[in-house]
Structure 1
């Protein structure tokens, strides 16, 4: 079990998601299976992958390996332990060209989830396929078997993209969350405020800025003041802002230390000092303003 109790956020469909996940972007398939298994042993229960990362089979396989071992050791059933895990994947743009294409894409994602049996959260990876195909894709997602795809959401969507979905007269299921890059240097306040107003949760990928800001003087000062690492400060900032951070780590030591964020709290002064709402310094993909 996790070394520290991880809080949950309740989504707008009343399901719950752990407020700390494990990102798998750029983890090669050759290493993903064992790394994810190790992350499970360290206490992670929330994993985020995608069709484009080409490691879905290995990520799900690492989780399954751990669940089977845990079931054997504890005498619990596979299904009982599976319920402790939260598995997210995403449809890539190539699968978002029509209702039929999206349905086939979901089928493929589900096949790659393997013995996990279902997907806890499926996201549209980006809005880049354009308005017509975004609607067609969402239509396929909300029509899919809800026992196989429990929740659906979006990623890298800006306000105008979300508005299109919310104002579509065929909408039956509202996105449960929007996964975007968020850090103190790319706070996206307009998107954040809009999502919160519409009860759409926010996941923060690249919460550690791909290590580009770990030597920032203000960040280092706050870390020293609190007796924690700059990495822990960034994750704690994200959690205290109400986001769901998705750090990635290949080190078991760092995996374990990430749980420390639930054992301390930053002051409001520290939060304000670290926040830069005027900045826009994404460290990765930026498509929230596309048509």
Structure 2
């Protein structure tokens, strides 16, 4: 599928075998957001078949260990009243190596039990991802063979032209891991940027639409956030134009300017972070 053939129904085939929408207008929740029950109620109230909605939740960083992560999966199912969760991520790479391995094992077991369909991580740096690969190999040896260490399907990071994280993007691309880009609109803090505005003017679209298009063409799954119906509709109307390769390069910067928390650079032995 090329960038010019994207549409609102386009999906990405995950390593788990399931599919995720290319544009993140499914539901993104987390235990720490306190919105799991509300998201599930919205699913039921929508009248849309459960199979057509992709629900994500996350294990809080304070629960990154085997017992707590295992308990969190069951708590999420109880909170939502759903039979399964499409995707659960470890929210941040805190807790230390042993606890990260244990939390991952808990997610693997949740998949095997049919409680969760796909699993992944959020806010992991490349060094954390390399460690996870090693943990998966170790778990395969400890638990009885290939596949027993789990399958990394999705990673979620803040990504936009001012925090492109190309090292992480390349790591994931080589392994077929879907990259979800949160805060793809930079919380509106870059409106009026010269390159961004010129592209919006050229194509007769909003600056938000240009940023979402940039994310899609990078191969990411953007998660634009809005509570305004018109903006939500506008954010989905990104399939009538395409940025050229030169325009993609023009928009991307060498800056490393995240607007959200940034656990990616924490050391492997960091047991806890506020």
Structure 1 stretches of 4+ moved >4 Å: none
Deviations 1:129-148 (A, max 9, x none): 22111001001110114422
For 2:56, what is the secondary structure of its paired residue? strand
User: Following TM superposition, by how much is the alpha carbon of 1:174 offset from its aligned partner in structure 2, in angstroms?
Assistant: 2.4
Deviates more, 1:214-223 or 1:118-127: 214-223
* Residue equivalent to 2:238: 261
Deviation at 1:5, TM superposition (A): 3.3
> Cα gap change, 1:117/1:88 in structure 2, threshold over 3 Å: closer, same or farther?
same
Establish whether residue 231 from structure 1 lines up as the match of residue 202 from structure 2. Answer: no
SS for the counterpart of 1:184 is coil
1:83 — aligned with what? 51
Instruction: Give 3-state SS (helix, strand or coil) of 2:45's partner.
Output: helix
Corresponding position of 1:202: 179
Partner of 1:240: 217
User: What is the rounded CA distance, in whole Å, between the counterparts of 1:226 and 1:5 in structure 2?
Assistant: 19
2:157, 2:179 within 8 Å by CA — same for their partners in 1? yes
- What is the rounded CA distance, in whole Å, between the counterparts of 1:119 and 1:202 in structure 2? 18
In structure 1, the residue matched to 2:16 is: 13
SS of residue in 2 equivalent to 1:151:
strand
> Which one of 256, 272, 279 corresponds to residue 255 of structure 2?
279
Which residue of structure 2 lines up, in the alignment, with residue 40 of structure 1? none
TM-score (norm 2): 0.88
Q: 1:141·1:152 contact (CA, 8 Å) conserved in 2?
A: yes
Partner residue of 2:134? Answer: 167
Q: What do the CA deviations read for 1:23-67 (whole angstroms, capped 9, x no partner)?
A: xxxxxxxxxxxxxxxxxxxxxxx1111111111111111111112
Determine helix, strand or coil for the equivalent of 2:161: coil
Please report the TM-score for the alignment, with normalisation by the length of structure 1. 0.83
Partner of 1:148: 115
Aligned-partner SS, 1:139: helix
Q: Is the 8 A contact 1:208 1:214 kept in 2?
A: no
Aligned alpha-carbon RMSD (Å): 1.3
Q: Secondary structure at the match of 2:32?
A: helix
State the distance in 1 between where 2:75 and 2:10 align: 31
Residues 111 and 118, structure 2, Cα contact 8 Å, conserved in 1: no
Contact 1:6–1:262 at 8 Å: present in 2 too? Answer: no
Q: Residue by residue, what CA displacement relative to the aligned partner does 1:93-149 show, whole Å, maximum 9, x if unpaired?
A: 22223x2221111111111222x3210000000002221110010011101144220
- 1:180 matched to 2:157: yes
Give the whole-Å Cα distance in 2 for the aligned partners of 1:110 and 1:263: 39
Unaligned runs of 5+ in 1: 23-45, 71-80
Distance of 1:8 and 1:145 partners within structure 2: 21
What secondary structure, in the 3-state scheme, does the structure 1 residue paired with 2:157 have?
A: strand
Cα 1:170–1:231 change in 2 (3 A) is: same
219-228 or 254-263, which moves further after superposition? 254-263
Structure-2 residue corresponding to 1:189: 166
Q: Give distance in 2, aligned partners of 1:178 and 1:245.
A: 12
Q: 1:58-97 residue pairs with structure 2 within 5 A?
A: 58-67=38-47, 70=48, 81-97=49-65
Alignment partner, residue 120 of structure 1: 86
